[in-house]
Amino acid sequence: MILNIGDVVRERSSSPFASAWRVEGYLASGRHFRHYTVRNLMPDMDGHRAVLKVIKYDPRLTHDADYVRSLRARLRRECETLAHFSPRLPEPLDYFEIDNAQDQFEGFGAEQLRAQEPVLIQTLLHGASLAQQMEDRGAPPAPADTLLLTLAKVCGFLDELHAGGRGWLFWALSPEHIIVDPHQEHEPSFVGCSNFRMLSHGVVVDDPAAGVLNHPPEPGYAAPEALCRGRSDHRVDVYAMGCLLFHLFTGTDPRDLAEDILARGQYGAHGSWDGDFEASDASPQPMSHGQAQAFCEELRSSMERFCRRNLKGLGISRARVRRMLLKAVRPDPDDRFQSPLELRDSLLATLSRSRPVAWPDPAIDS
């Protein structure tokens, strides 16, 4: 969004505290947001390091005020959400507005949009994401018993998230969102709560005021009921956990398999989920119910074939892991594990049957 973010924060902010944050460097980028590492220069903060988060606009859509306001509402909602959630999520430290001198907003209200660019400062989580660990180490990114216990903890967090009549879904859970501290391997933290979807009486609802619409998530980690904007509940996250198991133990991203299937065109044109969409197709279009079911069944068959060839069982039963993840990704939610806790019990049962082995040693199997 902003080329020289450090100068902009210091010189063009409406907050008297913004100049306390010195931008050290670029950290990471997602579909809608960019992250920078910052250090607090106030004397009593002792150089405290944190993360600065800003919106990454598609330049073809900055003329659309609704698009701009929706992303800003998501960032504001993330700040509010972080303030009330589990300590496993980053803590919001500061939220202010700056003058955006780079993006070319157009039309009525463009000057106001330019002058009110939101910035979120949040705690810097220690450790690396599972995605980064796979990039560095391959799959699986940790000893199998460690990984199973970590995933069981993820299931526990999802259960906390879903709890109550007005809970939340993670909605787009993937390895990028799970942070593992090497000193606390079994206590993962999480990023990406701007993707959370509200649950009302156990079902996902739109929240336009918060910039949250029930748009279909990216195919690969998305359950069929989400792809077709059907009645989605907590079992959407169970489906994503199955995809996560597949990804971590095979090294194959289910989103890549999904892309290959969609490229054949038999499930219609549903836009691009990598942020490279046309201005006229800013939101991926949902599949029909039948298309979504057939697509996810084909994806599941591809995953099963990959499991038979590539599943790496380091001291655990490959057959048991294969059955577990294939149950989690069944197209019909009634055929999956019915809660994250049910999946957690299966993960822990698999762990109890594992035998300790030296890692890594891909020749060992059971």
Q: Give me the CATH number covering residue 95.
A: 3.30.200.20
Residue 13 — pLDDT band, cuts 50, 70, 90? very low
Mean pLDDT over the full length of the chain: 79
Lowest pLDDT segment from 61-65, 183-187, 260-264 = 183-187
Supply 236's token pair.
Answer: 């959407």
Mean pLDDT of 97-114: 82
Domain boundary among 103, 123, 143: 123
Q: What is the CA radius of gyration of the chain?
A: 21
Is residue 29 scored above 70 in pLDDT?
Answer: yes
Q: What is the pLDDT of residue 318?
A: 82
Q: Are residues 115 and 158 in the same domain?
A: no
101 located within any domain: yes
361 located within any domain: no
Lowest pLDDT segment from 19-33, 171-185, 201-215, 277-291 = 201-215
Q: Are residues 44 and 148 in the same domain?
A: no
Is residue 52 scored above 80 in pLDDT?
Answer: yes
- Tens digit of pLDDT for each residue in 248-284? 999 999 999 999 998 887 776 554 443 333 333 445 5
- Tens digit of pLDDT for each residue in 131-170? 989 999 888 888 888 889 999 999 999 998 888 655 788 8
Q: Are residues 183 and 280 in the same domain?
A: yes
Q: What is the pLDDT of residue 240?
A: 96
Is residue 173 scored above 80 in pLDDT?
Answer: yes
Q: Are residues 101 and 165 in the same domain?
A: no
Q: What is the pLDDT of residue 166?
A: 57
Q: Domain limits at 83?
A: 5-123
Q: Supply angle C-alpha 164, 167, 171, rounded to 5.
A: 145
Distance of alpha carbon 275 from alpha carbon 59, whole angstroms = 11
Q: 70 CB contacts (<8 Å, ≥6 apart)?
A: 208, 211, 213
Mean pLDDT of 316-338: 92
Q: 248 CB contacts (<8 Å, ≥6 apart)?
A: 130, 134, 139, 140, 141, 147, 151, 175
Q: Are residues 90 and 159 in the same domain?
A: no
Q: What is the pLDDT of residue 314?
A: 56
Residue 330 — pLDDT band, cuts 50, 70, 90? very high
327 located within any domain: yes
Distance of alpha carbon 13 from alpha carbon 120, whole angstroms = 12
Using alpha carbons, select from 278, 282, 204, 276 the residue that is nearest to residue 237: 204
Q: Structural domain tally of the chain?
A: 2
69 located within any domain: yes
Distance of alpha carbon 152 from alpha carbon 340, whole angstroms = 9
Is residue 354 scored above 90 in pLDDT?
Answer: no
Q: Are residues 118 and 189 in the same domain?
A: no
Q: Supply angle C-alpha 211, 217, 223, rounded to 5.
A: 130
Q: What percent of the chain has pLDDT over 70?
A: 78
Element of type H or E holding 290: helix 289-310
Q: What is the pLDDT of residue 5?
A: 47
Q: Are residues 24 and 91 in the same domain?
A: yes
Q: Are residues 118 and 154 in the same domain?
A: no
Supply 144's token pair.
Answer: 């199998």
Q: 228 CB contacts (<8 Å, ≥6 apart)?
A: 216, 286, 287, 288, 289, 291, 292
Q: Are residues 68 and 203 in the same domain?
A: no
Mean pLDDT of 82-111: 81
Distance of alpha carbon 307 from alpha carbon 246, whole angstroms = 8
Q: Are residues 172 and 141 in the same domain?
A: yes
Q: What is the pLDDT of residue 200?
A: 73
Asked if residues 149 and 351 have their Cβ atoms less than 8 Å apart, the reply is yes
Domain boundary among 84, 107, 123: 123
Cα end-to-end distance, the chain, whole Å: 50
Residue with tokens 């940790």: 142
358 located within any domain: no
Of residues 286 and 15, more confidence is placed in 286
As to burial, measured by CB atoms within 10 angstroms (0-12 exposed, 13-18 middle, 19+ buried), residue 107 is exposed
Mean pLDDT of 25-43: 83
Domain with residue 206: its CATH number is: 1.10.510.10
Share of the chain residues as helix, strand and coil, in percent rounded to the nearest 5:
45, 15, 40
Lowest pLDDT segment from 51-55, 180-184, 319-323, 326-330 = 180-184
365 located within any domain: no
Q: What is the pLDDT of residue 242?
A: 96
Q: Are residues 168 and 234 in the same domain?
A: yes
Using alpha carbons, select from 215, 308, 302, 217 the residue that is nearest to residue 258: 302
326 located within any domain: yes
- Can you give the pTM of this predicted structure? 0.80
Q: What is the pLDDT of residue 346?
A: 94
Q: 24 CB contacts (<8 Å, ≥6 apart)?
A: 36, 37, 38, 39, 49
Residue 304 — pLDDT band, cuts 50, 70, 90? very high
Exposure string over 211-249, b if 16+ CB within 10 A, otherwise e: bbebbbbbbbbbbbbbbbbbebbbbbbbbbbbbbbbbbb
Beta strands in the chain (DSSP E): 21-29, 33-40, 49-55, 92-98, 117-123, 128-129, 168-169, 178-181, 184-190, 197-200, 203-205
Domain boundary among 88, 104, 123: 123
Residue 309 — pLDDT band, cuts 50, 70, 90? confident
Q: 160 CB contacts (<8 Å, ≥6 apart)?
A: 86
Q: Are residues 87 and 205 in the same domain?
A: no
Q: What is the pLDDT of residue 284?
A: 57
Is residue 357 scored above 80 in pLDDT?
Answer: no
Distance of alpha carbon 171 from alpha carbon 295, whole angstroms = 19
Supply 98's token pair.
Answer: 């700056």
